[in-house]
Amino acid sequence: MKIEIINNISDIAEQDWQRLNTQPSVFSNYQFFQCLESSGSVSAAQGWQPHHLQFRNNKSNQVNALLPMYVKSHSWGEYVFDWAWADAYQQHNVPYYPKLVATAPFTPVTSNKLLSDEVVLADTFDILTQLCQQQSLNSWHILYCSPAEYKAEDVYQRNTVQFHWLNRNYRDFDEFLSRFTARKRKNTRKERLSISQQNIEVRRVLGKDISKNELDFFYLTYQLTYIRRGHTPHLSFEFFQAIIEKLPENILLIIAQCNGEDIACAWFFFDEQTLYGRYWGCTKSYNNLHFELCYYQGIEFCIENKLALFHPGTQGEHKIQRGFEPKLTTSYHWIKHDGFRPAIKAFCLQEQQQMRAYQAQCMQLLPFNSNDENR
């Protein structure tokens, strides 16, 4: 295979990308990546230098695989946390960055990271290792991908746990709640009732119908969420403008209003099978409003639109009692520095065991009746 490094997604033919995207989702869509780059949200200045790999067949010269990647100078926006590794390097005066990362930026969602109808993910491991050796990159990381079959001893697998809602052909929200124990069902209904008791009304707006004022309000709350945590927002206003234009049929904005004033909103993406909860923000705090906008409204949307899966984002054990089930995610990692490999390998093996044990513990905390035949 002939390998080309592409530093701007515009230099990749969209028809090649879409042809090779055989398991499409919002976060493997060419337009999603293009909006990230064209808006400046992903760039060398932001610590995300595009370093996309394009593979060509030696005989036909046809593009037969694409692996979107970035050279990173930090670990923000990845959600498979390696800060402890970077700290260990720093304590020994060894540079941890730059590193090479394959991911959908700022998006902790399992999806096809390698777009191909001929090449499998494990086939790229040796290629990435050679690339890092040649270009003075200290490691490579493939995040939130499907499990791969591989034999390389110096490639380490990591697992994390996320919480997903599964649609078991529910007719409505009440049927979903009927699977809960009586106490959990009562608590959920109480949370939802508290929204109307606070004089809060909720509306859903599809991407094509989002007004300028609604987008302005969303971005205000999006910024506030990061500012309250002492961070700078990852995504620019121009990204959201562009993504509404490019993917209007894949966006849902849910807005809460109290006494005629918008007070909070939640941004979702969705495709034919899955709803993805992405961003939440509020200008005022109200009881249970986060649960209503980010979880219950999303579950209702999935049921009404017959979506099979609701992926609400990372972390959050509070999701368990609201019917979100623990699922393992997978990522792969290679480290150049021989001295750190034994410790990192041991860390990854121990983490895998811990994550499987944690998943089993979380399963015991789900709110469903133990005698539910659908569990």
Q: Residue 185 in contact with residue 322, Cβ under 8 Å?
A: no
Residue range 55-110, pLDDT digits in tens: 999 999 999 999 999 999 999 999 999 999 999 999 999 999 999 999 999 999 99
pLDDT at 372 (0 to 100):
62
Average pLDDT, integer, range 319-337: 97
pLDDT at 151 (0 to 100):
87
Residue range 139-168, pLDDT digits in tens: 999 999 999 999 889 999 999 999 999 999
Any idea which of 3-12, 301-310, 362-371 has the lowest mean pLDDT? 362-371
pLDDT at 314 (0 to 100):
85
The domains of the chain are located at 2-160+328-363, 168-307
Percent of the chain with pLDDT over 90: 94
**Cα separation values, 67 from 15, 32, 54, 123, 129, Å:** 15, 15, 7, 12, 14
Average pLDDT, integer, range 223-240: 94
Residue range 247-266, pLDDT digits in tens: 999 999 999 999 999 999 99
Kindly indicate the confidence band of residue 214, based on its pLDDT and cuts at 50, 70 and 90.
very high
* 335 closest CA partner among 124, 5, 76, 95: 95
Same fold, 2-160+328-363 and 168-307: yes
pLDDT at 128 (0 to 100):
98
Q: What stretch of H or E contains 191?
A: helix 182-197
For domain 2-160+328-363, give the CATH number: 3.40.630
pLDDT at 65 (0 to 100):
97
Any idea which architecture 168-307 has in CATH? 3-Layer(aba) Sandwich (3.40)
Q: Report the amino acid identity of residue 148.
A: A
Residue range 171-210, pLDDT digits in tens: 999 999 999 999 999 999 999 999 999 999 999 999 999 9
* 2 closest CA partner among 47, 55, 39, 40: 55
Q: Residue 88 in contact with residue 116, Cβ under 8 Å?
A: no
Give buried/exposed letters for 25-37 (b at 16+ CB in 10 A, else e). bbbbbbbbbbbbb
Residue range 335-359, pLDDT digits in tens: 999 999 999 999 999 999 999 999 9
Q: Report the amino acid identity of residue 120.
A: V
pLDDT at 374 (0 to 100):
55
Q: Residue 34 in contact with residue 10, Cβ under 8 Å?
A: yes
Q: Report the amino acid identity of residue 131.
A: L
Give the predicted TM-score (pTM) of the model.
Answer: 0.95
Kindly indicate the confidence band of residue 370, based on its pLDDT and cuts at 50, 70 and 90.
confident
Q: Residue 180 in contact with residue 323, Cβ under 8 Å?
A: yes
pLDDT at 106 (0 to 100):
97
> Is the pLDDT assigned to residue 371 strictly greater than 80?
no
Give all strands of the β-sheet with 2-6 in edge-to-edge order. Answer: 2-6, 52-56, 63-67, 115-116
Average pLDDT, integer, range 115-143: 96
Phi, psi of 21 (to 5 degrees): -85, 75
pLDDT at 23 (0 to 100):
86
pLDDT at 345 (0 to 100):
97
> Is the pLDDT assigned to residue 375 strictly greater than 70?
no
The Cα–Cα gap between 255 and 267 comes to 9
